[in-house]
Amino acid sequence: MAYSLTFFCRSEQEKGSTALASFLPKLTETGDRVLIKHLAADYADQVDACELATDNDSEMPAAGWLVLQFYVGVRYNADSVIRAGPDDEHGIWGSDLQAELPLTGSDTDWPLVNRIWALLVTLWQAIAWDEMSGFEADKDAPRPT
State residue 145's pLDDT score: 52
Could you report the per-residue pLDDT of 72-121, keeping only the tens digit for each? 998 888 998 998 899 989 988 989 999 999 988 788 899 999 999 999 99
pTM, entire model: 0.90
What is the dotted CATH code of the domain comprising 3-140? 3.30.310
Segments making up each domain of the chain, as ranges: 3-140
How much is the pLDDT for 7?
Answer: 96
State the pLDDT at residue 87. 92
Burial of 55 (0-12, 13-18, 19+ CB in 10 A): middle
Q: Which residues of 1-23 are buried (b: 16+ CB within 10 A; e: fewer)?
A: eeeebbbbbbbebebbbbbbeeb
**pLDDT mean across residues, the chain:** 89
What does the DSSP assignment read for 64-94? --EEEEEEE-HHHHHHHHHHH-TT-TTS-TT
Binned at pLDDT 50, 70 and 90, residue 127 comes out as: very high
pLDDT of residue 1: 54
